[in-house]
Amino acid sequence: MKKWLWLLVTSLLIASFFSSSVMANEKKEIGIHSVKKASTVQKVLPTTIPRFTFESGYSFEYPDAVRGIYVTGHSAGGERFQTLLQLLETTSLNAMVIDIKDDHGYLTYIPDSDSPYMDISKPYIRNIESMMKTLEEKQIYPIARIVVFKDTVLANKRPELSFLDNGEVWLNNRKEAFVSPFMKEVWDYNIDIAIKAAKLGFQEIQFDYVRFPEGFERRDEQLQFSYGDYENLDMNNIQKRVESVTNFVEYANQRLEPYGVDVSVDIFGYTATLPEAPGIGQNFTRISEHVDVISSMIYPSHWTAYFGIPKPDLEPYRLVAEYAKFENQRLDELENRPISRPWIQDFTASWLGKGNYIPYGKNEVEAQIRALNENGINEFLLWNAGNRYTEGVNYKPLGD
């Protein structure tokens, strides 16, 4: 009798063990993916993501508030890097947004020899490991900039992923090509590069050009391209563009989650003032729902008459203050509000013509920062395409 009971108990324990194991494996396979618009999003997003945590080996502390500068691959790998390091060491600036995939579509460093990205790599940053160690030593917060859908290199290499005009890759007025946000292959191409950046030690991935080309609403029926998984969705062309851009951001956030990095997106400032930007496919609210940081590009020079300001470049404080009020209202509507970290102007927009611009220096940069601070926005990024930043700026004009 005792032997029978012992066998029964043993059998039950073994069965329980295997049942638990199967359930655990099922949970692992199912993943943690969930979407708000299952009827449309599930058609293009995978239902599993890796469940592990990657450690880069670097140790960076998130600053009291990110106050950063833009750094090209050339600057990061050249003599200017020392000048930029000195700028950060002698001011309250504390972060660098460094090009990892640039505006042309090139990787700005040479990866391992077996990398699928070797053919698009440039030796701008000659020793990226040494650069990361320097940033760690000086506790400069590293952000990797990945230019996504503006990609002349990939468009020429894979025209079927791009937009064609009579069989040729379509170029905008600046002779730049775009690849299609509808194409899942393009998503993975860029996110795989972002994962490499996370493994290098970058603490944040910043996606730029997360959109269709400007004015696409005038070309969507003229150019030849594939809608991919969006072909048969019950939506008009505008909705399809918004859906694809939003889905990319959500998918990127999911795939990058195991690597412990924040995800940020650069977005046109005016999109916060509209329900959505129909041509380029950017919806400020929906994108903001899937990022840790939203970085609106609010350079005064890039606005036409707005907020009742006839010539915005002449009034940097007023333009930024008015924008900040509007953005705060939009972000306050979200359940999980991301950090607001706008791009502000540290360059002179002389191309606007006489009477439409002013030289930008210490006062103009500080005015923008003060306008943000007064509206509760304490983080910002400075843009200067040549990485030549104004000297003598107080980056904490309101103090701590």
- pLDDT at position 41: 46
Q: Is residue 8, in this structure, part of any structural domain at all?
A: no
pLDDT (tens digit per residue) in 259-292: 999 999 999 999 999 988 989 999 999 999 999 9
Give the tokens for residue 340.
């607001």
Q: Is residue 213, in this structure, part of any structural domain at all?
A: yes
pLDDT (tens digit per residue) in 30-54: 233 333 333 344 446 655 555 556 6
CATH label of the domain that carries residue 199: 3.20.20.70
Domain count, the chain: 1
Domain carrying residue 209: 61-297
- pLDDT at position 57: 84
* Residue 308: burial class (beta carbons within 10 Å; 0-12, 13-18, 19+): exposed
Q: Is residue 396, in this structure, part of any structural domain at all?
A: no
- Give the C-alpha separation, 20 to 14, whole Å: 10
Phi-psi region of 28 (alpha: psi -120 to 50; beta: other; left: phi over 0): alpha
The residue type found at 199 is K
Q: Is residue 151, in this structure, part of any structural domain at all?
A: yes
Residue 129 CB partners (closer than 8 Å, separation 6+): 200
CB 169 within 8 A of CB 155: yes
- pLDDT at position 46: 56
Give the tokens for residue 241.
């563009």
What is the Cα Rg of the chain in Å? Answer: 24
CA atoms within 13 A of residue 157's CA, in its CB half-sphere: 13
Q: Is residue 207, in this structure, part of any structural domain at all?
A: yes
Q: pTM higher than 0.75 for the full model?
A: yes
Low-confidence ranges of the chain (pLDDT < 50): 1-43
CB 342 within 8 A of CB 297: yes
Can you tell me which residue has the tokens 């969006």? 230
Of the candidates 137, 136, 134, the one whose C-alpha atom is nearest the C-alpha of residue 126 is: 134
Q: Is residue 374, in this structure, part of any structural domain at all?
A: no
pLDDT (tens digit per residue) in 230-259: 999 999 999 999 999 999 999 999 999 999
Q: Is residue 364, in this structure, part of any structural domain at all?
A: no
Q: Is residue 6, in this structure, part of any structural domain at all?
A: no
Residues in the chain: 400
- Give the C-alpha separation, 149 to 147, whole Å: 7
- pLDDT at position 30: 29
